[in-house]
A and B are shown apart, each in its own frame.
Chain A
Amino acid sequence: MIRNLRGSNPDLPDRCQVCVIGSGAGGAVVAAELAEAGFDVVVLEEGGYYPTSELSHDPLRMLPRLYRNAGGDSTLGRAPIMYTEGRCVGGSTVINAGVCYRTPSDVLHRWAMGLGTLDFMPENLAPIFEQVEKHLHVSPVPQELYSKDAKYMLEAAQGKNYHSVPVLRNIHACQGTNLCILGCPTGAKQSTLVTYLPRAQKAGARIFANCRVQKIELDGDRAAGVEYHELDPLTGQRGPLRFLQADWVFVAAGGTQSPSILFRSGIARKLRFVGKTLFLHPNTKCVGIFPDEVNAWQGSVQSFQIDEFAEEGLTLGATFLPPGILALALPFYGREVDRIMEQYNHLSVWGVLVEDSHPGRLRFSPKGLPMATYKLTRDDTERFKFGILKLAGLFFEAGAREVLLPIRGMEYARSRDDLRQLERYRLKAEQLSLFSVHLMGTCRMGLYPQTSVVDVHHRVHGLRNVFITDASVFPGPIRVNPMLTIMAMATRAAHNFVEYQRRFSQAA
Chain B
Amino acid sequence: MHNLILKPFECRLIEALLPVILPTMPVHEHRFRRRVLYHIDRFLVKMPLFFRWLFHLGAWLFDVSPMLFLAHTHRFHRSSLHFRQYWTARAYRTSIMPLYRWFHIIRGLILLVYYSQDDQHRRLRYYPAEWVKFNVMNRRRKLKLVEEAPHDSQPSRFQPRSS
Contacts and interface: CB of A to CB of B under 8 A. Distances in A.
Do A and B make up one complex?
yes
Interface of A: 51-60, 63, 72, 74, 76, 80, 110, 113-116, 173, 175-179, 185-188, 272-273, 276-277, 297-298, 322-328, 333, 337, 341-342, 344-345, 358-359, 446-448, 450-452, 475-476
A272 B132 contact: no
A297 B14 contact: no
A70 to B, nearest CB: 9
Nearest to B116: A324
B67 interface: no
Contacts of A74: 101
A451 to B, nearest CB: 4
Nearest to A326: B115
Given A115-B15, A324-B111, A324-B116, 20 more contacts: A53-B154, A56-B158, A57-B158, A60-B112, A60-B116, A114-B16, A116-B19, A173-B142, A175-B142, A185-B158, A272-B5, A276-B8, A297-B128, A297-B131, A323-B115, A323-B121, A324-B112, A446-B11, A450-B6, A475-B15
B150 interface: yes
B107 interface: yes
Nearest to B46: A450
B108 A113 contact: no
Given A57-B158, A277-B8, A450-B45, A325 B112 contact: yes
Interface string B3-43: 01110100110111011101000000000000000000100
Contacts of B11: 446, 451-452
Interface in B100-158: 101, 105, 107-109, 111-116, 120-121, 123-126, 128-129, 131-132, 135-136, 138-139, 142-143, 149-151, 153-154, 157-158
Contacts of A298: 131
Contact of B15 (A53, A59, A447): A447
A56 B138 CA distance: 17
Bin the interface of chain B by size.
35 or more
Contacts of A51: 150
25 contacts: A52-B150, A53-B150, A56-B132, A57-B129, A60-B113, A63-B112, A76-B97, A113-B20, A177-B131, A178-B131, A185-B157, A297-B128, A323-B115, A323-B116, A323-B124, A324-B111, A324-B116, A327-B112, A342-B124, A344-B125, A345-B125, A359-B8, A446-B11, A451-B15, A475-B15
Nearest to A111: B15
Contacts of A448: 15, 41, 45
B151 A52 contact: yes
B72 interface: no
Contacts of A72: 105, 108
Interface in B58-115: 93, 97, 101, 105, 107-109, 111-115
A326 B121 CA distance: 13
A342 B121 CA distance: 10
A346 to B, nearest CB: 10
